């Protein structure tokens, strides 16, 4: 569950409760979005991408066909379960990450953003 004072007066929101519908109706990005990512060199063959907050795996499913390998993580085990169902047979690695791990990654990304730094991590 997510608790944020600045959103919905801090009422809890459980992504797990809407996972099935989210997986069915949330694949909303236009083809041009994926073309733009690919034109920037994101998601091409040989890339290994960690998708933080993957939800039902929309981004990995739509870029996987271009050769990138994805690991999607999310704090909602129900979202991950739907991602696994939708992505069956695609050879994708989708796992549930602990909230603490996700928060740690987000802190690192925030620090990098504030330092105006960008990094591409490769396995060399």
Letter string b/e over residues 49-58, b meaning 16 or more CB atoms within 10 A of that residue's CB: bebebbbbbb
Residue 86: count of CB within 10 angstroms of its CB: 17
pLDDT digits (tens, 9 = 90+) for 77-113: 888 888 888 888 877 655 555 555 667 777 777 777 7
For the ranges 4-8, 15-19, 53-57, the lowest mean pLDDT is seen at: 4-8
Domains, the chain, in order of start with CATH, read 8-114 (3.40.50.150)
In this prediction the pTM is 0.62
Element (DSSP H or E) covering residue 51? strand 48-52
* pLDDT per residue as tens digits for the range 78-87: 888 888 888 8
């Amino acid at each position: 569950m997510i608790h944020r004072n600045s959103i919905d007066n801090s009422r809890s929101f459980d992504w797990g409760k809407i996972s099935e519908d989210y997986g069915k109706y949330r694949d909303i990005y236009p083809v041009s979005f994926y073309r733009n990512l690919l034109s920037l060199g994101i998601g091409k063959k040989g890339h290994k991408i960690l998708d933080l907050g993957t939800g039902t795996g929309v981004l990995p499913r739509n870029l996987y066909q271009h050769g990138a390998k994805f690991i999607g993580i999310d704090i909602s085990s129900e979202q991950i379960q739907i991602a696994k169902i939708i992505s069956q047979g695609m050879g994708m690695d989708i796992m549930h990450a602990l909230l603490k791990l996700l928060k740690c990654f987000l802190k690192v990304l925030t620090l990098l953003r504030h330092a105006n730094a960008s990094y591409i991590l490769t396995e060399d």
